[in-house]
Chains A and B, each alone.
Chain A
Amino acid sequence: MSLSGRLVSGALLWVACLLPVSAATPVVHEYRLENGLELRVLPDHRAPVVTSQVWYRVGSADEPGGSTGLSHALEHMMFKGTQTLPPGAFSRVIAEHGGRENAFTSRDYTAYFQTLAPEHLEIAFRLEADRMRSLKLDAGEFAREIEVIKEERRLRTEDDPEARLNELFQATAFVSNGYHHPVIGWMADLDHMRVEDLRAWYARHYAPNNAILVVVGDVEPQAVLGLAKKYFGALPSGELPSRRLRRDTAQDGERRVVLRAPAKLPSLLMGYKVPTLVEAPESWEPYALEVLSGVLDGGEAARFANRLVRTGLAAGAGAGYDPMAREGGLFILGGTPSEGVEPLKLEQALRGEIERLRNEPVDPAELSRVKAQVLAQDIFGRDSNFYQAMRIGIAETVGLGAASLDAYLAGIEAVTREQVQAVARKYLIDDHLTVARLDPLPMDVSARPVASAQGGTFHAR
């Protein structure tokens, strides 16, 4: 939950020095086409495979109130035909060439990917270029697909009490920025969504000058550049809205919220407002927070495993932090209390761990362990093209740039015990805290009929 999510493939000389077996240092090649499309290529010749990803600088956080879920719904519709290709053709053509493809939407970006043999990269480019400006957005297709999306929401959120708790938690922690609402959108907004809304969203955000093409695998950068020019080069740029950076309303006091839902186990989520790499008063602070999360939850030797789980207090406990969130960070703690332990007691223990970080510097052995893990994970991460492409795409779409990844290892390496204590003191304070608790209700169906989602909201039942 903590460090593994955010590591990069940067190249630093001292890495090679530390490792007796030298790891070839990966270099990201950067290009920009005349129409504004950004291209990033990372050659990796370990297997005859390439991952191609198109990232758009638009995500759920860009959506206005009442229209939540637009980015994700548009992502679904991107497979439903263009002016020249029928619905489903994209997936069929990629499959025929032995490829895999899919897409994902997050708060800060929407991304589409194909993984295939390098000789077929051209096919992926042709199809992606086609749907970048020529999507059909047929009303009949939308009418069916929006039902699929509602089923997705029922599956992932409505029928999962922990997911509902997380949604409520985020909505409570973030008040006025784009992280207030869930990526998939509120059910009520999905009920009201129209294909015209998607057409406007597409016209506004899908253009070469709002996209980054990331290619990682068994390819040569110059050849990829040639292909990119051939297929994307002729696409016209669009007039883009300036992408606002919405800061959340300052939090001046602890917030507490409870979800009562049919469930078997209580659950707890706690989050402190913190800065991220996108915007931090001091550039070292996000790295110190990363190290701090590793001290708490960076494996079985970390504090949570020893002090919360092995003491019998928690059945599970975790800490995590996304240092690349664009509109603001949340340092999250959470857990499930052991049988017979009140959630309040677990909350006090979690707060106690934070208190301890504020009061005393971490042990030098803890600090060096976290750094060793980050260093190793940097090598392990290179075992996956997809993971490497993800890092690049995220860094680009949140505005940090692929080159910033090179600074990551050095940033972690430079963190001191005093800095870890300093960020704990500065940010992990009660006034910045949101606490969400799941109180289980009996799961007896007849005793508590489930409200229909029809026209209802997240809070309905």
Chain B
Amino acid sequence: MLANLLKNRRAFAGVWFALLLFPLVSVAAPRIEHWTTPQGVPVYFVRSDSLPMVDVRLLFDAGSARDGATPGLAQLTGSLLSEGADGQSAETLARGFEDVGAQFSAGVSQDSAYLSLRSLSDKARLASALDGLARILRAPDFPEDAFVRERDRQLLAIRARAQSPGEVADEAFMSALFGTHPYAHPVDGNAVSVGALTRDQVRAFHQRHYTTGTALIALVGALDRVQAEALAERLAGSLPKGEALPALPPVLPLDTSRRIDVPFPAQQASILIGQPGIARLDPDYFPLYVGNHILGGSGFSSRLVSTIREERGLAYSVYSYFMPMRQAGPFQMGMQTKLAQGEMAIGLLEADLKRFIAEGPSEEELAHARKNILGGFALRLDSNRKLVENIAAIGYLGLPLDYLDRYRDRVAAVTREDIKRAFAKHLRPETMVTVVVGGPQATEQGDAQGKQP
């Protein structure tokens, strides 16, 4: 309820989502210990004794990008994991966690699926919580009644998306950017596909995607190395044996610009402009990150906020970001403004982007961004929750273990020329997708569908 009561001055503007990783400034980066369990599962561990609690995060190569011809299958599988396992009902499993105050959750994104457990670290409580997690890893039952119910709930969630202009814009945008690539469809799929899913498909998906070959374990908390190894081995030992999956196909660049207008009963136009950006391991990650910080990634310090909000009062939230994924994720600029101002706003966003690609930032802007990013590092890793999410991402994306230690130097080394070159290389203003949701007209301009392998 609390969130509903608060009115934040800013929306979620220009965020690099879960992949924000920053270097330490005045203190050493947390020591990430890494090993592989006898079952072959990689483990990333940071010891943190100051609170009597443990965070466990497992990632699996079981995201919606693995849906294949059945969009929504990964999501449904993920939501069914805790709906009955190893002979225990959903209620019994939940009691096992909640009777000891532990918190379990699971979720699915495009690149991965996660299971997360937060528990007090004393032996009895932790053991009870881990017992439930091990059952879920070992043998989800996918009961028929739960399958039908969760499928129906997913169908309803898909319908609910259609009453949110932001969600409608997202769906149209991702579809236009990614064409036939598996990043194109929403994580929860579409009504036709989900309506046709069967329990056997869920079982088969689970069998292939939740195994020792697709898993990663991240641990943060009041454990010593010996305890952490035993815990990880127990969890890995609960998983079926399996193989790693082939890499996802690369994302192809767009070959033409497109404008998509979606009619919607709203007072505002929800605007998204963008194109495929970069994969997380792209060598231009740092210049693009620092550059975008200046363009639209740093809230009130950014150019887009200055142009759209501070100078003209056109929008509450305006941002840009790259979301680098295992393959190229989107670059996007976004905002909402009352319908009559939509076209003006689009013109301003496009002009800011073009100018930034052509001229890059000023030295002063770069110096400011550097100070903010370097000085703000400690804020990104100041809780066990942030730590466990970050080390899981480092492992999953294949970043080096000393990534945090070297990060500072790499940010500091970015020059104006690097930013100009990287933006010019990766962004092409002549092949942007523009989505506008809101208002009465449905139009589609542009001469081709996005092509993807």
> Which A residues are within 8 Å of any B CB, using their own CB?
1, 5-6, 19-24, 46-49, 72, 75-76, 79, 87-88, 91-92, 95-100, 102-107, 115-117, 120, 143-152, 154-156, 158-161, 166, 183-184, 262-265, 298-302, 305-306, 309-310, 312, 315-316, 320-322, 332, 336, 338-339, 365, 368-369, 372-377, 379-380, 382-385, 440, 443-446, 448-450, 452-453
**Cα distance A79–B8 when bound, in Å?**
13
Contact status A312-B149, CB under 8 Å = yes
Which residue of the partner chain, among B4, B100, B336, contacts A155 with CB atoms under 8 Å? Answer: B336
Which residue of the partner chain, among A20, A166, A373, contacts B122 with CB atoms under 8 Å? Answer: A20
Q: Does B314 contact A (CB under 8 A)?
A: yes
Q: Can you name the residue of chain B whose Cβ is closest to the Cβ of A92?
A: B301
Q: Does B375 contact A (CB under 8 A)?
A: yes
Given contacts A106-B5, A117-B378, A155-B268, contact A300 B101 (CB under 8 A): no
Known: A299-B94, A336-B160. 12 other contacts (CB 8 A): A87-B310, A88-B300, A91-B300, A107-B5, A117-B378, A152-B316, A159-B336, A183-B6, A264-B160, A338-B156, A376-B100, A379-B120
Q: Does B298 contact A (CB under 8 A)?
A: yes
Contact status B53-A106, CB under 8 Å = no
Given contacts A5-B1, A115-B379, A117-B26, contact A147 B313 (CB under 8 A): yes
Contact status B268-A154, CB under 8 Å = yes
Given contacts A49-B382, A369-B95, A450-B267, contact A100 B5 (CB under 8 A): no
Scan B143-171; emit 1 where CB is below 8 A from any A CB, else 0: 00010010011011101101111000000
Contact status B163-A262, CB under 8 Å = yes
Q: Can you name the residue of chain A whose Cβ is closest to the Cβ of B302?
A: A95
Scan B1-44; emit 1 where CB is below 8 A from any A CB, else 0: 11011111111000000000000011100000000000000000
Question: Which 9 A-B pairs rank lowest in CB-CB distance, beginning with the nearest?
Answer: A98-B375, A376-B101, A21-B52, A147-B313, A300-B94, A144-B313, A301-B94, A47-B382, A152-B316
Contact status A315-B312, CB under 8 Å = no
Q: Does B264 contact A (CB under 8 A)?
A: yes
**Cα distance A98–B25 when bound, in Å?**
10
Give the chain B neighbours of A184 by CB distance below 8 A.
7
Give the chain A neighbours of B125 by CB distance below 8 A.
376
Q: Can you name the residue of chain B whose Cβ is closest to the Cβ of A162?
A: B163
Q: Can you name the residue of chain A whose Cβ is closest to the Cβ of B125?
A: A376
Which residue of the partner chain, among A183, A310, A369, A377, contacts B7 with CB atoms under 8 Å? Answer: A183
Q: Can you name the residue of chain A whose Cβ is closest to the Cβ of B262?
A: A445
Given contacts A117-B375, A148-B309, A336-B156, contact A445 B5 (CB under 8 A): no
Given contacts A98-B377, A379-B120, A445-B264, contact A155 B149 (CB under 8 A): no
Contact status A155-B316, CB under 8 Å = yes
Q: Can you name the residue of chain B whose Cβ is closest to the Cβ of A71?
A: B7
Q: Can you name the residue of chain B whose Cβ is closest to the Cβ of A372?
A: B101
Q: Can you name the residue of chain A whose Cβ is closest to the Cβ of B52?
A: A21
Give the chain B neighbours of A302 by CB distance below 8 A.
98
Contact status B372-A95, CB under 8 Å = yes
Contact status B382-A385, CB under 8 Å = yes
**Cα distance A284–B168 when bound, in Å?**
47
Q: List 13 A-B contacts (CB under 8 A).
A: A21-B121, A88-B310, A91-B300, A98-B372, A183-B7, A301-B91, A312-B152, A315-B157, A338-B152, A372-B101, A376-B100, A383-B51, A383-B385
Contact status A265-B95, CB under 8 Å = no
**Cα distance A49–B298 when bound, in Å?**
19
Q: Can you name the residue of chain A whose Cβ is closest to the Cβ of B367?
A: A96
Q: Can you name the residue of chain A whose Cβ is closest to the Cβ of B50?
A: A46
Q: Does B439 contact A (CB under 8 A)?
A: yes
Give the chain A neighbours of B317 by CB distance below 8 A.
155
Given contacts A21-B222, A160-B164, contact A315 B267 (CB under 8 A): no
Contact status B265-A147, CB under 8 Å = no
Contact status A151-B222, CB under 8 Å = no
Q: In whole Å, how far is A16's beta carbon from the nearest beta carbon of chain B?
A: 10
**Cα distance A320–B2 when bound, in Å?**
10
**Cα distance A440–B27 when bound, in Å?**
55
Which residue of the partner chain, among A5, A79, A383, A446, contacts B383 with CB atoms under 8 Å? Answer: A383
Q: In whole Å, how far is B437's beta carbon from the nearest beta carbon of chain A?
A: 10
Contact status A23-B51, CB under 8 Å = yes
Give the chain A neighbours of B2 by CB distance below 8 A.
5-6, 322
Q: Does B266 contact A (CB under 8 A)?
A: yes
Give the chain A neighbours of B78 by CB distance below 8 A.
none
Contact status A372-B100, CB under 8 Å = yes
**Cα distance A450–B82 when bound, in Å?**
43
Q: Can you name the residue of chain B whose Cβ is closest to the Cβ of A443?
A: B265
Q: In whole Å, how far is B451's beta carbon from the nearest beta carbon of chain A?
A: 31
Interface of B, helix, strand, loop or mixed by DSSP: mixed
Q: Does B299 contact A (CB under 8 A)?
A: yes
Give the chain B neighbours of A143 by CB distance below 8 A.
313
Contact status A310-B91, CB under 8 Å = yes
Contact status A19-B120, CB under 8 Å = yes
Q: Does B203 contact A (CB under 8 A)?
A: no
**Cα distance A302–B90 when bound, in Å?**
11
Q: Does B371 contact A (CB under 8 A)?
A: yes
Which residue of the partner chain, among A49, A150, A155, A300, contacts B98 with CB atoms under 8 Å? Answer: A300
Q: In whole Å, how far is A373's beta carbon from the nearest beta carbon of chain B?
A: 5
Given contacts A107-B5, A151-B314, A155-B317, contact A91 B299 (CB under 8 A): yes
Given contacts A97-B375, A312-B149, contact A151 B95 (CB under 8 A): no
Contact status B123-A20, CB under 8 Å = yes
Give the chain A neighbours of B383 by CB distance below 8 A.
46-47, 383-384
Contact status B98-A380, CB under 8 Å = no
Give the chain B neighbours of A76 by CB distance below 8 A.
9
Which residue of the partner chain, among B27, B98, B123, B315, contacts A372 with CB atoms under 8 Å? Answer: B98
Give the chain B neighbours of A320 by CB distance below 8 A.
1
Contact status A148-B152, CB under 8 Å = no
Contact status A96-B368, CB under 8 Å = yes
Q: In whole Å, how far is A433's beta carbon from the nearest beta carbon of chain B?
A: 18
Interface residues of B in 380-403 (CB under 8 A from A): 381-385
**Cα distance A159–B163 when bound, in Å?**
9
Give the chain A neighbours of B197 by CB distance below 8 A.
none
Q: In whole Å, how far is A455's beta carbon from the nearest beta carbon of chain B?
A: 13
Contact status B264-A380, CB under 8 Å = no
Contact status B53-A97, CB under 8 Å = no
Q: Can you name the residue of chain A whose Cβ is closest to the Cβ of B154?
A: A315
Contact status A148-B315, CB under 8 Å = yes
Scan B346-379; emit 1 where CB is below 8 A from any A CB, else 0: 0000000000000000000000100111111111
Contact status A79-B314, CB under 8 Å = no
Give the chain B neighbours of A23 by CB distance below 8 A.
51-52
Give the chain B neighbours of A49 by CB distance below 8 A.
378-379, 382
Q: Does B103 contact A (CB under 8 A)?
A: yes
Contact status A1-B1, CB under 8 Å = yes
Give the chain A neighbours of B11 by CB distance below 8 A.
152, 155
Give the chain A neighbours of B146 by CB distance below 8 A.
310
Q: Does B320 contact A (CB under 8 A)?
A: no
Give the chain B neighbours of A305 by CB distance below 8 A.
91, 94
Q: In whole Å, how far is B86's beta carbon from the nearest beta carbon of chain A?
A: 16
Contact status B101-A151, CB under 8 Å = no
Give the chain B neighbours of A160 by CB distance below 8 A.
164
Q: In whole Å, how far is B336's beta carbon from the nearest beta carbon of chain A?
A: 5
Q: Does B218 contact A (CB under 8 A)?
A: no
**Cα distance A373–B149 when bound, in Å?**
27
Contact status B52-A148, CB under 8 Å = no
Q: Does B99 contact A (CB under 8 A)?
A: yes
Given contacts A91-B299, A155-B316, A300-B94, contact A106 B155 (CB under 8 A): no
Give the chain B neighbours of A6 by CB distance below 8 A.
2
Contact status A443-B379, CB under 8 Å = no
Q: Can you name the residue of chain B whose Cβ is closest to the Cβ of A24?
A: B50
